[in-house]
Structure 1
């Protein structure tokens, strides 16, 4: 007897086989439930959600099997199979529908994103805590939590808050200093107290160690620095938070040695900036969800634009390309400047430049931010300097199409020979021919003081709602010009900012390129005011407009314009007689008709098809559910078990089918696709 019992017990090998079989069967059931639930819902389902749904369905199947195990009889096999397979399938589909309702596909994190997000969260936790402590230390905590609003403060309170904000940004490091400098140009967003305070932010930093900097240059060049540069010493000519600038000579023969400026990205700065940008974007999203002032200013959009600009600034190849593009159109600007002070830009040595190193010609001079006393000592004409800078900028906007987007005093240098030079081309705007033409008309209308022409020029540049009141817009533009351009008064620093706000008030969708232009002009106004407080921008605009119109009406220009227009019209003129003949022939014979096709657009057809599909599924699911209820409650019918009839079994099957149809409709409704 003992030998028989031992023989009946499974051995080690058979136990492993049994375990393996159970494991494979379980995996197959989970995979089958995941696949079936996704297929029955009719739309793509994420892998993670499908697997979780399969596991939940498998757990339901195990539970139901355990509950129905004691009552398995020959007559109840069919009901057992339906319950053991149908209910788990409904459970799996129900989970996917609920998950889609709570977290629509595309908004929830994917597995790789979760892992990467966890790493980033761990890496930025200390930095985030540090930034929070800085904000609280400077009294900004209530504003970050939404307990106080910017608009609630009086002028004195705003000034104190602006001072606290500037100090907090300075303590925050490079990214937050750059953010403050960007905000200092946004007169359309911030009160004057903030603009004045943030304009005092200085981008200064202790120089990085020469050994690290030399390593960056060597890695960029691929050869030792001594083979390319002479007199490249360890002391930088300037040190900022992102880059340091060194003066050197290119190694040529002594007679043709070229003085260059070597701009080197600080070692390790990219990782720091990326971490801070992640914090800035998260803070902007949190503030916009919690505070009214952040929603009013569109803080998330502003943060995204700032992040894109910062990432471009970290790639010196972008700046090198911008300088090359501007240099290609630069000779024409000397004609636009005319007899004013020339504006130049340094030449870039693209073959020596890379993502982290930029080599340009060396320019002797000082930035306009520090040149005030020097201008007076040398007896330079401030109005002439301002005129040359303004005309150069107008040429870039209206004729070249490539313009410096951040002309603040720190990016403009007064050279030893009295010329001006533009620096830092990390932020450059571009305008196509249509936008340049519209901008020319806008500036000409401003120069003439014509509110009707200004309205037409503005509407050519923007997208406006159908219900726009053009007469009201023209009256508002007339008031704008009365404030800034009438009576010979010098325009205030808010001229272009007020134009920006006026467009927002009438819900004019200003293209991003034009928004960049208006911000650049607002920044230029502050620079011109610092250069010459008495400079009359309106008078200069009228003078430029008159000169531009005179040039456009010259015989040579008119002849060229006429020839260009005729060449563009010639193909259409050649086809016009044949088309007119066909139309008149159809009219004579009564064959002219107009066809209107309903749902000609594929997108319209997809919408109608989808709605029809959902309606039919809903109707079919409801009918199936009603039929199931009637069959389950119907008396009589063939018995397949002592307590279960064929009608009831069919009703249970229809219940499962109705559940599948209803869940499919719900999934399609909740899905964001």
Structure 2
């Protein structure tokens, strides 16, 4: 049974939807229809601005519901191909224009975290936020050394609101597992657990700073992307200070066009950055919506907001790379075999049948530019195939899939004529050659040589110890065999004695009966 606290949260969610004029959503939820009729007794219901567009009403509802819902809106905002323009235009505002909290509250959080006054920490501090998002807001400042920086401040009481909504997600996942036939395959509890981990990690700004530092090292001196530098002395769990960057938001297409941006190169570099992070570094920025990406003209990316990052296990990384390459080569049988081998579909799946299903999904989109691919139709076919072959959701890949959706949506906006296949295939082929080619084997041997050299003097003693253990093991086995033989002989003797005793007893009883 659902707990009272979560029931109240569900009622509040429906109340917010009604308040913002999204009554039709509530009316479709039979349990909460009374909320629609109770709302008319609230003064706020009659004071609401009913002239707002549906996009504005959806955006404001998501803002009022909290950070998890804002993140959902951010993810949707990157998929203009799936949304009407009026809704997409409003959801874009969730990327960096969420209503901010007060300057006084921001200053008090900063001073409490740093243990010093704002004037001691900064030569200048702008009270007006530069940007405000679901989890934190950003102020500009100048250090006493003269460096321009941005100060990211966590929203007050954000953790409690997030935990409350995650609790609701767990409750919904439990209901799904009990009453939904597809729940075993979709693993809702595991997906919510993965979402909880990444979301709560985002609330630790020291962790985010460490993520930024690692990405900065990975792309040091890169011509394709720049990662700003962290100012560690003033970074705490709720406050992050880093170098201020200047660029054009990647979603501002008109401004990029006026500045002479190279859209084709930007789109190709976006694909390169994604595959480099996933396969070369195995450490990728997993929140790459347009609010977190800027452009240094003509074609260099600048990334911010590193709260959510992802990594893959070596086996998942290998299987993904093999699947991508097989797909680019139209080797659908290899794709089918890899899915079975990795355990993503059942071992009992017929390879030929699965191969045919994959071909029917992939062939219609192959070698087409992004603008000619109906992403909605593609998703529908993928979901149908997954359901038909009982494909289980892989929670560890959810972040990667989310990032891939963001990148693909961004590519559609920047350069719809991008040929994703020809852009990505050379990178993967190069990665495979470097990873498993002859040179890779030699490099691995050279890398392991110091360890081998260190252990080389111990090899004679290790061989002697192994032989000694083998000899003792043989002696021990022979001794056990002798003991087993003796035990068997003793059991045989006992068995014969028992049989003779039974025969003698039977003879005595028979004689007594006959001569009675």
Report the TM-score, using the length of structure 2 for normalisation: 0.70
Quote how far apart the aligned CAs of 1:307 are: 4.1
How many Å separate the matches in 1 of 2:408 and 2:194?
A: 22
Change (3 A) 1:237 1:265: same
How many Å separate the matches in 1 of 2:129 and 2:280?
A: 37
1:159-170 counterparts in 2 under 5 A? 168-170=61-63
Aligned to 1:638: none
Aligned to 2:487: none
How many Å separate the matches in 1 of 2:451 and 2:373?
A: 41
How many Å separate the matches in 1 of 2:367 and 2:57?
A: 39
Change (3 A) 1:563 1:268: closer
| Secondary structure of the structure 1 residue equivalent to 2:28 | helix
- Choose which of 404, 414, 424 in structure 2 pairs with 1:531: 414
How many Å separate the matches in 2 of 1:199 and 1:311?
A: 29
Aligned to 1:34: none
How many Å separate the matches in 2 of 1:362 and 1:464?
A: 47
Aligned to 1:433: 314
Say whether the 8 Å CA contact 1:403–1:430 is kept in structure 2.
yes
Structure with bigger gyration radius: 1
Is residue 2:106 matched to residue 1:213? yes
Is residue 2:141 matched to residue 1:258? no
| Secondary structure of the structure 2 residue equivalent to 1:406 | coil
Q: Deviations over 1:599-626 (max 9, x none)?
A: xxxxxxxxxxxxxxxxxxxxxxxxxxxx
Say whether the 8 Å CA contact 1:497–1:518 is kept in structure 2.
no
| Secondary structure of the structure 2 residue equivalent to 1:140 | helix
Aligned to 1:480: 361
Q: Which moved more, 1:230-239 or 1:435-444?
A: 435-444
Q: Deviations over 1:249-280 (max 9, x none)?
A: 2222xxxx322110012233333444444455
Aligned to 2:301: 420
Quote how far apart the aligned CAs of 1:354 are: 1.8
1:173-322 counterparts in 2 under 5 A? 173-182=66-75, 192-193=82-83, 197=87, 200-201=90-91, 202-203=93-94, 204-252=97-145, 257-279=146-168, 281-282=170-171, 303-322=192-211
Say whether the 8 Å CA contact 1:404–1:429 is kept in structure 2.
yes
What RMSD over aligned residues (CA atoms) do the two structures have, in Å? 4.6
1:42-191 counterparts in 2 under 5 A? 121=5, 129-136=11-18, 137-138=21-22, 139-145=24-30, 168-182=61-75
Q: Which moved more, 1:347-356 or 1:497-506?
A: 497-506
Say whether the 8 Å CA contact 1:181–1:199 is kept in structure 2.
no
Say whether the 8 Å CA contact 1:181–1:198 is kept in structure 2.
no
How many Å separate the matches in 1 of 2:244 and 2:201?
A: 23
Aligned to 1:614: none
How many Å separate the matches in 2 of 1:173 and 1:510?
A: 27
- Choose which of 236, 248, 259 in structure 2 pairs with 1:366: 248
Aligned to 2:426: 543
Report the TM-score, using the length of structure 1 for normalisation: 0.55
Say whether the 8 Å CA contact 1:343–1:389 is kept in structure 2.
no
How many Å separate the matches in 2 of 1:278 and 1:353?
A: 30
1:381-530 counterparts in 2 under 5 A? 381-415=262-296, 418-486=299-367, 491-493=373-375, 502-530=385-413
Quote how far apart the aligned CAs of 1:238 are: 1.4
User: Which consecutive residues of structure 1, in runs of 5 or more, have no partner in the other structure?
Assistant: 1-107, 110-116, 149-159, 335-340, 587-592, 594-673
Is residue 2:243 matched to residue 1:354? no
Change (3 A) 1:488 1:199: closer
Is residue 2:260 matched to residue 1:379? yes
- Report the count of equivalent residues: 439
